[in-house]
Amino acid sequence: MIHRERRAIVVEGDEAEIPTLLGIPLGFIVNELVTNSIKYGTGTITVRLESTPEGHSLAVSDEGPGLPEDFAATGPRGLGMKIIQSLVRQIAGELRIDRGDPNRGARFTVLFPRKQAPAAKAV
């Protein structure tokens, strides 16, 4: 018999209107980050959206053991991190990785502008 730990996902944050061009990639990013937290973390998973002067901040954190000391988001990691990095670039965002609060677990934060830059025209 398999016993699975009950996990809570808490969603917090500011009310914000997100254009579809940003919302779809952000949904995929959250999906990948929550999946990673379920696989590798423990405790409550928190998804938080905040408005910043430059745009918005979307963070996913857990209460797990944290990331290995040699963890590098740009290193040769799994498909999930490659997908996240590609989507962050797509929305002209920035990915930050650190420990969660209170200095436990992992936190992945995506900073992104309020509006998507217009797509380049094909020549």
Please write the tens of the pLDDT for every residue from 17-75.
888 889 999 999 999 999 989 988 888 999 999 998 889 999 999 988 887 777 666 55
Report yes or no on 101 lying in a domain.
yes
Split at pLDDT 50, 70, 90, the class of 7 is confident
Report yes or no on 103 lying in a domain.
yes
Do the Cβ atoms of 89 and 25 come closer than 8 Å? no
Report yes or no on 4 lying in a domain.
no
Report yes or no on 107 lying in a domain.
yes
- Rounded to whole angstroms, how far apart are CA atoms 119 and 78? 29
- Rounded to whole angstroms, how far apart are CA atoms 57 and 41? 21
Instruction: Read off the pLDDT of residues 59-117 as tens digits, 9 standing for 90 and up.
Output: 999 988 887 777 666 555 678 889 999 999 999 999 999 876 666 789 999 999 987 65
What angle, 0 to 180 degrees and rounded to 10, lies between the N-to-C axes of helices 20-40 and 79-90?
Answer: 160
Report yes or no on 92 lying in a domain.
yes
Could you say which DSSP state residue 119 is in? Answer: P
Report yes or no on 1 lying in a domain.
no
Report yes or no on 2 lying in a domain.
no
Token duo for residue 107: 């936190």
% of the chain residues with pLDDT over 70: 80
Is the peptide bond between 102 and the residue preceding it cis, with omega within 30 degrees of 0? yes
pLDDT at position 74, please?
58
Domain enclosing residue 46, as ranges: 12-113
Report yes or no on 121 lying in a domain.
no
Q: How many domains does the chain have?
A: 1
Split at pLDDT 50, 70, 90, the class of 1 is very low
Amino acid (1-letter code) at residue 5: E
**pTM of the full structure:** 0.82
- Rounded to whole angstroms, how far apart are CA atoms 47 and 62? 9
pLDDT at position 114, please?
80
Amino acid (1-letter code) at residue 75: G
Q: What CATH code is carried by the domain that includes residue 44?
A: 3.30.565.10
Do the Cβ atoms of 99 and 105 come closer than 8 Å? yes
| Cα Rg, the chain, nearest whole Å | 15
Q: 104 or 122, which is more confident?
A: 104
